[in-house]
Amino acid sequence: MVQTSLDSFNPDEYRMTLGDHLEELRRRLILGLAGFAVALGVCLFFGKEVLAIFCRPLLLVMQEYEVNPMLFMGNLSDGFMVYLKISMIGALVLASPWILWQLWLFVAAGLYPHERKTVTRYVPLSLTLLIAGELFVYFLVLPWTIQFFMAFSISIPLPDMGSPPVMTTQPASFVQVPTVPGDPANAPDYGMWFDTTQQRLKMMVAGKVRVIPFGPENLVSPQILLTEYIDLVLGMLVVFGLSFQMPLVILALCTAGVLEPQQLRGMRKMVYFIMAIVAAVITPGDVITASIALTVPLCLLFELGIWLAASRIDRSPEKQG
């Protein structure tokens, strides 16, 4: 009877001494850090463009509500520190396949063939779910969240401060600012115009374009700090990226025997109810948004996890035997 490759696998042939393990770990760490350094150089070169991409959803909402689309710094070094943070996170994301590959080469040496096969089977799915979660946040959840908070904040009315005085005579003339789509080619010094493409009030000073901040006439005029906004975006990306790993977490729990697919099917109503509450908290202000944008995807991920777990258990040797 011919033995299969799995039956003929002898772990003693692949044993390494402690010194060999440490030397291999050192080698993989150096290669991983080298890949991160290369990616960091690329991200530092394009760091300002990446920062602009992060801020784009906020600026679009500010334009929609006719609020001056600008972010502000609370400290002198905020702009540079955010630039470094975005560059380092971008480098980590860009280099993560290479770093994970080096980590996998180190770990795989201590795994059996069937264990290596199980890991490599689900790695592409994990990366796909991670990317889907990030895109879901950037194109759906983040714009809707910004829109809700912006609409609520600028709608707060001024308190009653008495009737304003009524002018009995009209002024001789009003200063009317021209509206142009963009910046005029030959604007004179101290000339002023309103850029309709960016919703910005601009002035030419000493040959350079300057932006004049303005806001709504209600009580609250938003002046959003760059650092706080970037922290919000990064936090949402991390939370949703991890939450989209739910199918693989369910699969791991069922494979380890902690849960059974049948148990999870019986918990559907309770799980759906909890997901609806979480969705309503994360995306406030709009029941439809909370239900469609978050609850439905989370429920689909839950069902995907049950299906993966049930399929794996049905294919296991113990089940087939």
DSSP string, 254-296: HHTTSS-HHHHHHTHHHHHHHHHHHHHHHSTT-HHHIIIIIIH
For the chain, what is the mean pLDDT? Answer: 82
What pLDDT was estimated at residue 198? 84
pLDDT band at 210 (very low <50, low <70, confident <90, very high): very high
pLDDT of residue 6: 46
| Nearest to 206, CA basis, from 188, 227, 232 | 188
Q: Is the pLDDT of residue 299 over 50?
A: yes
What is the band of 316 on the pLDDT scale with cuts at 50, 70, 90?
low
| pLDDT range class, residue 9, cuts 50, 70, 90 | very low
Rounded Cα gap, residues 266 and 312, in angstroms:
19
| Between 199 and 36, residue with greater pLDDT | 36
209 — pLDDT class (breaks 50, 70, 90):
very high
Burial group, residue 168, by CB count within 10 angstroms (0-12, 13-18, 19+): exposed
Vertex 56, ends 53 and 58: CA angle to 5°?
Answer: 140
pLDDT at 257: 82
pLDDT value of position 4? 44
Grade residue 144 by pLDDT with cuts at 50, 70 and 90.
Answer: confident
Distance (Å, rounded) from C-alpha 187 to C-alpha 283?
44
User: Given this model, what pLDDT does residue 65 score?
Assistant: 85
Determine the pLDDT at residue 15.
Answer: 60
Percentage of the chain lying above the pLDDT 70 cut: 86
- Lowest-confidence segment of 11-15, 25-29, 228-232 by average pLDDT: 11-15
Residue-wise pLDDT for 214-263, tens only, equals: 877 788 888 899 999 999 888 888 888 888 889 999 988 888 888 888 89
Higher pLDDT, 277 or 224: 224
* Cα distances (angstroms) measured from residue 290 to each of 216, 244, 287: 28, 16, 5
The confidence band for 14, taking pLDDT boundaries of 50, 70 and 90, is low
More confident residue, 173 or 225: 225
- Residue indicated by tokens 């890949």: 35
Q: 202: part of which helix (H) or strand (E)?
A: strand 200-205
Is pLDDT of 184 > 80?
Answer: yes
Closest CA to 29 of 106, 97, 90: 106
Calpha distance 84→78 (Å, rounded): 10
Q: Which of 316, 223, 224 is nearest to 261 (CA)?
A: 316
Let me know: does 68 contact 222? Beta carbons within 8 Å. Answer: no
| Locus of tokens 């850090």 | 33
Percent of the chain with pLDDT over 90: 26
- Whether residue 181 contacts residue 197, with contact meaning beta carbons closer than 8 Å, is answered with yes
Say what the pTM is. Answer: 0.77
What does DSSP assign to residue 203? Answer: E
Residue 167 sits at the vertex; the CA angle it makes with 166 and 171, to the nearest 5 degrees, is 150
Q: Is the dihedral of CA 60, 62, 68, 71 positive or negative?
A: negative
For residue 87, what pLDDT is reported?
A: 93
